[in-house]
Amino acid sequence: MNEWVYAVIIIPFVSAAILVVLPGYWLTARLNVLASFLTLIAGLNLMRIEAFSNSYLIIDNLNIVFVVLNTLVGVTTAWYSASYIGHEIETGRITPASVRFYHAMYQAMMGAMNVALLANNIGLLWVGLELATLITVIMVGIYRTPEAIEAAWKYFILGGVGISLAFFGTILTYLAGQQALGEGLPAMSWSLLHANAGKLDVPLLNLAFVFLLIGYGTKVGLAPLHAWLPDAHSEGPTPISAVLSGLLLNVALYALLRYKMLIAANPLALQPGPILVVMGLVSLIFAAFMLYQRRDIKRLFAYSSIEHMGLITFAFGMGGPLANFAGLLHMTMHSLTKSAIFYAVGHVAQAKGTQRIADIRGLSVSHPGLAVALGLGVLAISGLPPFGVFMSEFLILTSTFAREPWLALLTAFGLLLALGALLLRLQGMLFGEPNEPTHTVKASPVPVVVHLILILIAGLYLPGALVTWFQRAAELLG
């Protein structure tokens, strides 16, 4: 049964190795999609596994969802980037040479993320995340423009420092487990650590959590550690923006959640709730304010990602079955919706030949299809029905207000601010008289449509399996 687990990790790396040697854009793009698709199949097969863990890998209710999501978005993004990068090459914004290793790196990145998600070993998790980060750094710099290099540099420095802090936290965690579980692998495996959470060394655990929070929090993009995120999103190629927002942030957050589970399982350890709540609220409201000043469309949605990561962190900080459930749901919905938005945004930018919001007008007249996609995406991410985000925000706000009305007011304030900004920009881009120039983009509608349909279904009806996973995970998260 569990060969599928290895498949999820091996397929990407193997195909990466193959893609490195293969020349030519056309072929590699197709192979990329194929490989991602195979990974998806493997990932879907994981759903049939009840639970599984060995000394290196683990499948449980928490990460199964993330793996499936990861592989799924992996496929759609691969599909999308096939058409997107193709267009970029045609218009000559990137040379074939610079995308020589693009698909190899893409697969390697997906593999790394899967490693991080499936790792039953805090070190392995770290390695996966690190690898994914570094690869994305390179991909962000792919356009070789000053802005791109600057963004990549910023991303690298901040991400690197963050990741080192996370590593120190990992060491501390290991030490915390060392007493109880003895030296070597056991002290690093999730399953054992979580099983013996009560016996861990509490002060070390607390110290560890601080470093992990700052370290992985940087990757999650929580303010004030967020600085790399907007530029990386806006300067890199759009498929990478989609992956960053849709997946990498999730993987980082997944790491945080793992540690939160650990620390929540130990009654003596410090309660991370308040810290998470504060960081979440700060990110949410800060990002909401920043949205109003954005002039670059991709940066706009990057900040919206910060906002939503803040909301999710807030939900987990509140804790309790409802809020945790909502947090997990919102995480899933956000990565589906946000990647859909980036797909649309990428094509919009190609259609208008610019990323300046001010230069994008009247899409609903000039490019109805794109307009609908973008519009639905933005309405969905703003938490308007009939899409899934509405359900998660419903749960977060209601449950919070029932417990801490003031916090709920702050959250609502942030959400409304964000809605106002996004709506303002959306209306500006979609409506009014269309402006020149407008190019035609032969975009494949499949990725966007798939995502929108998924979040629409989620908004109306959640499949029972998903619900049970979420509920069990929510219980674990305490």
How many of the chain's residues bind another protein (CB under 8 A)? 113
| String marking each residue 281-320 x if it binds another protein according to CB under 8 A | -----x--xxxxxxxx--x--------------------x
Options 59, 113, 322, 473; binder of another protein; rule CB under 8 A = 322
Q: What are the backbone angles phi and psi of residue 445, rounded to the nearest 5°?
A: -70, -10
Q: Whole-number minimum distance, CB 179 to another protein, in Å?
A: 6
**Cβ closest to another protein, residue 38 vs residue 140:** 140
Q: Whole-number minimum distance, CB 26 to another protein, in Å?
A: 27
Q: Which stretch binds another protein (CB under 8 A): 39-47, 89-97, 190-198, 212-220?
A: 212-220
Asked if residue 75 lies in contact with residue 450, where contact means CB atoms within 8 angstroms, the answer is: no
Which residues have a Cβ under 8 Å from the Cβ of 17 and sit 6 or more positions away? 104
| Mode of pairing for the β-strands spanning 52-53 and 58-59 | antiparallel
- 161 is an interface residue for another protein by CB under 8 A: yes
Q: Whole-number minimum distance, CB 34 to another protein, in Å?
A: 28
Residues 358-387 that bind another protein (CB under 8 A): 364, 379, 384-386
- 5 is an interface residue for another protein by CB under 8 A: no
Options 164, 198, 442, 453; binder of another protein; rule CB under 8 A = 164
Q: Which stretch binds another protein (CB under 8 A): 8-16, 20-28, 35-43, 140-148?
A: 140-148
Q: Whole-number minimum distance, CB 396 to another protein, in Å?
A: 9
- 210 is an interface residue for another protein by CB under 8 A: yes
Residues 224-243 that bind another protein (CB under 8 A): 224-225, 227-228, 230-231, 234-235
* Spatial distance between the Cα atoms of 220 and 372, rounded to a whole number of angstroms: 29
Options 30, 356, 439, 442; binder of another protein; rule CB under 8 A = 356
**Cβ closest to another protein, residue 86 vs residue 428:** 428
Q: Write out the two tokens for 177.
A: 């487990």
- 198 is an interface residue for another protein by CB under 8 A: no
Residue with tokens 């192979």: 31
Options 249, 390, 410, 441; binder of another protein; rule CB under 8 A = 390
DSSP 3-state of 2: coil
Q: Which is nearest to 220 in space by CA: 285, 138, 314?
A: 314
Residue with tokens 């990549």: 152
- 180 is an interface residue for another protein by CB under 8 A: no
Q: What is the DSSP letter of 266?
A: -
* Angle in degrees, CA 316, 320, 322, rounded to 5: 90
* DSSP-assigned beta bridge partners for residue 191: none
- 157 is an interface residue for another protein by CB under 8 A: yes
Considering all CA atoms of the chain, what is the largest pairwise distance in Å, rounded to the nearest integer?
69
DSSP 3-state of 362: coil
Q: Which stretch binds another protein (CB under 8 A): 37-45, 57-65, 94-102, 177-185?
A: 177-185
Rg, C-alpha atoms of the chain = 21
Residue with tokens 């964000």: 418
* Spatial distance between the Cα atoms of 296 and 436, rounded to a whole number of angstroms: 18
Options 213, 249, 336, 443; binder of another protein; rule CB under 8 A = 213
**Cβ closest to another protein, residue 83 vs residue 355:** 355
**Cβ closest to another protein, residue 86 vs residue 385:** 385
* Spatial distance between the Cα atoms of 445 and 289, rounded to a whole number of angstroms: 32
- 14 is an interface residue for another protein by CB under 8 A: no
**Cβ closest to another protein, residue 163 vs residue 315:** 163
Q: Whole-number minimum distance, CB 283 to another protein, in Å?
A: 12
- 27 is an interface residue for another protein by CB under 8 A: no
Options 179, 198, 267, 453; binder of another protein; rule CB under 8 A = 179
- 167 is an interface residue for another protein by CB under 8 A: yes
Residue with tokens 């999103």: 233
- 422 is an interface residue for another protein by CB under 8 A: no
Q: Which is nearest to 220 in space by CA: 247, 258, 239, 241?
A: 247
Residues 449-478 that bind another protein (CB under 8 A): 460-462, 464, 467
Asked if residue 361 lies in contact with residue 429, where contact means CB atoms within 8 angstroms, the answer is: yes
- For the chain, the residue count is 478
Alpha-carbon distances, residue 437 vs 351, 353, 358, 429, 440 (angstroms): 8, 8, 13, 14, 10
**Cβ closest to another protein, residue 256 vs residue 430:** 430
Asked if residue 413 lies in contact with residue 424, where contact means CB atoms within 8 angstroms, the answer is: no
Task: Please name the helix (run of DSSP H) or strand (run of DSSP E) that holds residue 119, with its range, or none.
Answer: none
Q: Whole-number minimum distance, CB 405 to another protein, in Å?
A: 6
